[in-house]
């Protein structure tokens, strides 16, 4: 009987806590409109701007059908850590947004396996990004701005570094509210990174990495309704 009661309590807590993220996203969707979605197919690569186009391939092993796979890269020794590969959406000037996608980590360098959501990108050296990584350091597992080669940390709340699994798809959600200067990065139902020091700049958005191999599927972006 005690085990049954404990199980009921656990189920109740799960239903109380997990929907906090889901409810927030549901409310956001009431005030936002769908701007872009891609479940990925053989023509999907034409939609994006890649740093290294031949390192991105469409495969048949997605969470639902096909997916987009990045083959990974080895960073030069001694290079300051920052995103080295970008997949940018075609829209030029996005401010506030909600982005979600399914993510499967396949990085072979276990010292730093990551995923980044890039935003406010105006050129290759001026942008901001939130990185969920397997290691926390001066230039990893936080929210950053990068201007003319200089990186500044913005994150005010961080969870412990990620423990990625080869066998699991994760849901990545980024929520940016330029009206209050906030950005949140969620992995599944957990708030991983947050800042309240974001600036109301616009630019391109997308997915990036410090070099990890990964797959993504079911990418969607919402923006505020007019």
Q: Which domain holds residue 176?
A: 2-224
pLDDT of residue 182: 94
Quote the DSSP letter at residue 137: B
State the pLDDT at residue 80: 61
Residue pLDDT, tens place only, 13-72 = 333 344 444 556 677 778 999 999 999 999 999 999 999 999 999 999 898 899 999 999
CA-to-CA dists, residue 19 to 16, 113, 128, 194, angstroms: 6, 28, 28, 18
Instruction: Select from 174, 183, 225 the least CA-distant residue to 32.
Output: 225
What phi and psi values does residue 16 have, to the nearest 5 degrees?
A: -80, -40
- pLDDT one-digit tens code per residue, 105-163: 986 766 688 999 999 999 999 999 999 999 888 899 999 999 988 999 998 777 899 98
Please tell me the predicted confidence (pLDDT) of residue 149: 82
* Domains: count for the chain: 1
The pLDDT of residue 167: 78
Q: What is the pLDDT of residues 58-110, one digit of tens each?
A: 999 898 899 999 999 876 655 668 899 999 999 999 999 999 999 999 867 66
In angstroms, the CA 178 to CA 119 distance is: 12
Buried b (16+ CB within 10 A) or exposed e, 24-61: bbeebeeebeebbebbbeeebeeebeebeeeebeeeee
Alpha helices in the chain (DSSP H): 2-17, 19-31
- ∠ CA 103-160-55, nearest 5°, is 30
Q: Which residue has the higher pLDDT, 7 or 122?
A: 122
CATH assignment at residue 73: 2.60.120.560
> Where are the strands (E) in 136-213, listed by range?
143-147, 150-153, 157-158, 170-177, 182-187, 190-195, 204-209
- Which pLDDT band, with edges at 50, 70 and 90, does 204 fall under? very high
Q: How far apart are CA 222 and CA 207, in angstroms?
A: 15
Cα separation, 26 vs 222, in Å, equals: 12
In the prediction, which pLDDT does 83 show? 93
C-alpha span between 102 and 63 (Å, rounded): 8
Q: Residue 7's pLDDT band (boundaries 50, 70, 90)?
A: very low
Phi, psi of 129 (to 5 degrees): -160, 150
Joined together, the tokens standing for residue 52 give 């290294």
Confidence of residue 11 (pLDDT cuts 50, 70, 90): very low
pLDDT value of position 213: 92
91 burial (CB, 10 Å; 0-12 / 13-18 / 19+) is: middle
Nearest one of 168, 176, 152 to 224, comparing CA atoms: 176
Could you give the 3-state DSSP secondary structure of residue 5?
Answer: helix
């Amino acid at each position: 009987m005690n085990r049954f009661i404990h199980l009921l309590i656990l189920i109740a807590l799960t239903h109380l806590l997990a929907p906090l993220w889901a409810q927030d996203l549901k409310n956001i969707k009431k005030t936002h409109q769908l701007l872009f979605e891609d479940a990925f197919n053989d023509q999907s690569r034409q939609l994006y701007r890649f740093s290294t186009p031949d390192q991105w391939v469409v495969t048949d092993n997605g969470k639902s059908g096909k997916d987009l796979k990045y083959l990974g890269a080895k960073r030069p020794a001694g290079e300051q850590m920052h995103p080295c590969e970008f997949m940018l959406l075609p829209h030029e000037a996005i401010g506030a947004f909600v982005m979600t996608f399914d993510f499967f980590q396949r990085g072979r360098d276990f010292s730093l396996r990551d995923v980044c959501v890039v935003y406010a990108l105006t050129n290759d050296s001026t942008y901001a990004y939130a990185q969920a990584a397997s290691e926390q350091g001066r230039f990893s597992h936080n929210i950053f701005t990068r201007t003319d080669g200089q990186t500044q940390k913005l994150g005010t709340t961080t969870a412990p570094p990620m423990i990625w699994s080869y066998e699991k798809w994760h849901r990545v959600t980024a929520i940016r509210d330029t009206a209050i200067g906030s950005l949140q990065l969620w992995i599944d139902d957990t708030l991983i990174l947050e800042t309240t020091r974001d600036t109301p700049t616009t630019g391109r958005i997308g997915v990036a990495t410090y070099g990890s191999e990964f797959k993504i599927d079911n990418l969607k972006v919402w923006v505020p309704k007019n």
